[in-house]
Amino acid sequence: MSRTRCRTGAFRLDRRAALGLALAAPLLVPLARRARAQSLEKLSFHTDWRAQAEHGGYYQAIAAGLYRKAGIECELRQGGPSLNIGQLLLAGRVDMIMSNSFEAFTYVREGAPFHTIAAIFQKDPQVLIGHPGSGLDSFDKLKGKTLLIGNGGRVTWWPFVRKKFGLKDEQLKPYTFNMAPFLADKNAVQQGFLSSEPFSIAKAIGREPEVLLLADAGFASYQTTIAISRKLATEKKELIQRFVDATLEGWSQYLAGGPATEAANALIKRDNPDQTDERIAYAIKVLNERGIVRSGDALTGGIGAMSDAHWKVFYESMADVDVLPRGLDVTRAYSLEFVNKGIGKS
């Protein structure tokens, strides 16, 4: 049996093993199958961080052979703290990247020929985390709290939250991606991601923290979007459609969990040994419970759906707090051509 040619960026063969496979393949693989494998079209996709359940749909599409069935050889590359994947896309070193609404408008502002073609996360999974029993059940309760927020948050979502809930910059202290300052201050509120920091904090103190989802405050950014050059999306439209369809089906399967996702989770743990079965299960649970993938436009258009109205609301909310400049052509940030086809619609 020939093995799938879809792979993750972490998969490597040493020179001798690779040579051995190259020599053995003509003898072991039937001619028809070799011809089929050779016909697979190559695409590369770069995630925004190390492998995790938040990337599960892509790993599922590999593990379940969905890309292969779509005639695609998909190279899934991991992100990390030292990688600027946006620069890799601009330089043409990768075909597509995992992105967000802010980056899409950066392309518009800079006149760069890139845009968004799918939005996997309908809700931004960023959260604010309070201590157990602190009563942090609404954004109004943030007044008077010490807010541990990093530089990225201060120039993106913080101006929106500050204005909407009457908060002050004086409340801010640096967030260093270390939960020790939060644990030491019962009045502190820390930023994080729904599927990550709340899990780590609960493991550290033995109790579930209070969690506020920024999307519930009206922060309307799409997250884990697919960004691509306009040139590639135009010249290889049919190929990109097959990639998007296989990816969305991968997400539909992955969110269902169960034995069918074990191979995908094994790939995630192989690429990122810090991921455990418990952490992955927690992430899938909260992604489903809070409607991160299946909510908003996805309820009618299927996974990955987007709408003109959603993009306009987000842009205007960010322009109102001077995070984005006025006068940008919102429609240049995205294309609806590849989504809203009902895939994975619940």
Q: How do residues 296-316 score in pLDDT, each as one tens digit?
A: 999 999 999 999 999 999 999
Q: Is residue 80 predicted with pLDDT exceeding 60?
A: yes
CATH code 3.40.190.10 region(s) in the chain: 7-121+221-333, 126-217
Express as a percent the part of the chain with pLDDT over 70. Answer: 89
- State pTM to two decimals: 0.88
Range 7-121+221-333 has CATH code 3.40.190.10: yes
The pLDDT score that the predictor gives to residue 14 is 33
Q: Is residue 28 predicted with pLDDT exceeding 80?
A: no
Q: Is residue 54 predicted with pLDDT exceeding 60?
A: yes
Q: Is residue 283 predicted with pLDDT exceeding 90?
A: yes
A 10 A CB-CB count for 256 gives 13
Average pLDDT score over the chain: 90
- For the ranges 15-29, 130-144, 195-209, the lowest mean pLDDT is seen at 15-29
Q: End-to-end distance of the chain based on CA atoms, in angstroms?
A: 35
Rounded Cα distance between 42 and 259, Å, is 29
Rounded Cα distance between 45 and 7, Å, is 11
Q: Is residue 129 predicted with pLDDT exceeding 70?
A: yes
| DSSP per-residue codes, 114-146 | EEEEEEEESS--EEEEE-TTS---SGGGGTT-E
When the candidates are 3.40.190.10, 1.10.260.40, 3.40.50.2300, 3.30.1490.20, the CATH number that belongs to 126-217 is 3.40.190.10
